[in-house]
């Protein structure tokens, strides 16, 4: 039985902008508007606006909230100040990944968790199953919309809607209440593109007004805002070397497999779920290592393709795409350690033919904080 597809509060906006709608984890979302390549370039050079209302949001509140989260997630949140955001994997006792999430701390007893849409139901069950004392967990996904405004012009666009000094808002920090177009929003300086930008959370009913205000503010030629879809979002995150659950992380791939060691705190004085297994894996070493690949010839690296070296299979592609920023194909792959070294020559097997590729450092793309929009990396 197939459930009816869910529409975000911005569904009508996407139709009005001629978005190509697709089913993504049960949600009807635009995969693209004008074109994926154009949307990626525009977001890197100017700004892009993305509907990410499909993401799940949970509130965790109570005197036991901090203790509960410390046990649930792998990163250390004891050092997370008020109005700051932290990224963390969540693991099973066997070390495999439940999800990777963002944790927003309002205060010691109040947190917002933002989870992947595809994992929201599974996460909720897991978080409930492990619920601690004096904690209330509430799923606020359906009444919460999320808009991502990304790109070098994001600050100018958002600043035109509020008098709050957004330029002072530091990366991975947030303002709990910002009034935008008459709607009370949470605004964080976060994103999934490798660009400067903001993520804006608001009540579902207010989302169209916020979206429209951002669109009107940003559509002027100097600011160059474009609506952007899931296709551009996936490429932007891959160019920025950011993992995506279901690709680089999964129930069988641990955060250590994905090279996310700095988000697993063995030092925190809490027996977090998965600690034993992860510690054992850290001592023994991972089977493969996640590495960046670029194609040296034409052809597009795609998920699932085998990677070889001298005819021997050495790994597999976890994510791949054509990169508009580098005008060649790139991807991330799980490879044998001795070959997961920048500069190594490997081959990607595309339709039974070996195409030459090179192992490179990730992120592929790193924004130049002085001269915005310029790329370095590959």
Partner 1 sequence: MQWEIRAGYKYTRKHEWVKQDGNIVTSGITDYAQDMLKDIVYVELPAVGREVKAGESYAVIESVKAVSDCYAPVDGVVIQVNEALLDRPELLNSDPYGAGWIARFEAVAGYEYPALMTDGEYETFVRQEEAG
Stretch touching partner 1 by CB under 8 A, among 88-96, 216-224, 268-276, 297-305: 297-305
Q: Is 164 in the site for partner 1 (CB under 8 A)?
A: no
**Which residue, 274 or 299, has its beta carbon nearer to partner 1?**
299
| Integer Cα distance of 264 and 75 in angstroms | 5
Among 102, 219, 107, 108, CA closest to 172: 102
The binder of partner 1 chosen from 245, 322, 334, 364 (CB under 8 A) = 322
Instruction: Specify the stretch interacting with partner 1 by CB under 8 A; choose among 127-135, 139-147, 173-181, 295-303.
Output: 295-303
Question: Could you tell me the two tokens for 306?
Answer: 């085998």
CB 346 within 8 A of CB 314: yes
Contact code string over 7-26 relative to partner 1, x by CB under 8 A: -------------x------
- Residues contacting partner 1: total by CB under 8 A: 17
Report the chain's C-alpha Rg in angstroms.
21
CB 61 within 8 A of CB 74: no
Residue 31 touching partner 1 (CB under 8 A): yes
Contact flag: residue 42 with partner 1 (CB under 8 A): no
Interface with partner 1 includes 50 (CB under 8 A)?
no
Choose the stretch contacting partner 1; rule: CB under 8 A; options: 1-9, 116-124, 178-186, 322-330. Answer: 322-330
Q: Rule CB under 8 A: is residue 351 a binding residue for partner 1? A: yes
The answer to whether the beta carbons of residues 306 and 313 sit under 8 Å apart is yes
**CA 72/CA 89 separation, integer angstroms:** 9
Helix 230-239 vs helix 36-45: crossing angle, to nearest 10: 60
Query: How many C-beta neighbours within 10 Å does residue 165 have?
Result: 9
Nearer of residues 157 and 301 to partner 1, judged by Cβ:
301
Judged by beta carbon, residue 70 or residue 325, the one nearer partner 1 is 325
DSSP notation for 242-292 = ---BTTTB-SSS-TTTTT-GGG--SSSSS--TTHHHHHHHHHH--SSEEEE
Question: Applying CB under 8 A, which of residues 298, 310, 345, 356 lies at the interface with partner 1?
Answer: 298
231 binds partner 1 per the rule CB under 8 A: yes
Binding part of the chain for partner 1, among 106-114, 219-227, 319-327, 360-368 by CB under 8 A, reads: 319-327
Which window, 246-254, 261-269, 316-324, 358-366, contacts partner 1 (CB under 8 A)? 316-324
Rounded to whole angstroms, the Cα distance separating 336 from 333 reads 10
Q: How far apart are CA 89 and CA 96, in angstroms?
A: 10
Residue 35 contacts residue 234 (beta carbons within 8 Å): no
CB nearer partner 1, residue 41 or residue 361 = 41
| 331 near partner 1, rule: CB under 8 A | no
Q: Are 77 and 86 in contact (CB under 8 A)?
A: yes
Residues in touch with partner 1 (CB under 8 A)? 20, 31-32, 35-37, 231, 235, 298-300, 302, 321-322, 324, 329, 351
């Amino acid at each position: 039985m197939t459930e009816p597809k869910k529409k975000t509060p911005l569904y009508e906006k996407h139709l009005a902008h001629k978005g190509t709608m697709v089913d993504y984890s049960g949600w009807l979302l635009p995969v693209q508007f004008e074109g994926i390549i154009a949307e990626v370039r525009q977001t890197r050079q100017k700004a892009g606006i993305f509907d990410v209302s499909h993401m799940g949001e949970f509130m965790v509140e109570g005197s036991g909230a901090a203790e509960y989260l410390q046990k649930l997630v792998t990163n250390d949140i004891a050092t997370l100040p008020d109005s700051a955001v932290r990224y963390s994997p969540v693991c099973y006792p066997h070390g495999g990944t439940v999800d990777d999430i963002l944790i927003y701390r309002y205060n010691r007893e109040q947190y917002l968790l933002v989870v992947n849409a595809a994992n929201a139901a599974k996460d909720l069950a897991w978080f409930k199953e492990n619920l601690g004392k004096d904690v209330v967990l509430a799923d606020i996904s359906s009444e919460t919309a999320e808009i991502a405004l990304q790109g070098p012009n994001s600050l100018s666009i958002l600043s035109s809607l509020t008098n709050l000094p957004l330029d002072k808002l530091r990366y991975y920090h947030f303002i709990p209440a910002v009034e935008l177009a008459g709607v009370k929003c949470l605004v964080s300086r976060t994103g999934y593109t490798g660009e400067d930008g903001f993520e804006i959370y608001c009540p579902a009913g207010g989302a169209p007004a916020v979206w429209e205000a951002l669109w009107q503010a940003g559509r002027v030629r100097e600011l160059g805002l474009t609506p952007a879809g899931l296709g551009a979002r996936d490429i932007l995150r891959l160019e920025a070397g950011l993992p995506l659950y279901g690709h680089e992380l999964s129930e069988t791939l641990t955060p250590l497999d994905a090279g996310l060691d700095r988000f697993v705190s063995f030092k925190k004085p809490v027996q977090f779920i998965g600690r034993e297994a992860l510690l054992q894996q850290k001592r023994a070493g991972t089977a493969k290592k996640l590495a960046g690949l670029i194609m040296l010839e034409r052809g597009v690296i795609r998920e699932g393709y085998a990677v070889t070296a001298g005819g021997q299979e050495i790994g597999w592609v976890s994510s791949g795409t054509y990169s508009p920023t580098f005008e060649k194909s790139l991807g991330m792959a799980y490879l044998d350690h001795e070959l997961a070294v920048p500069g190594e020559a490997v081959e990607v097997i595309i339709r039974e033919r070996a195409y030459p590729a090179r192992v490179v450092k990730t992120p592929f793309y790193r924004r130049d904080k002085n001269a915005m929009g310029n790329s370095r990396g590959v």
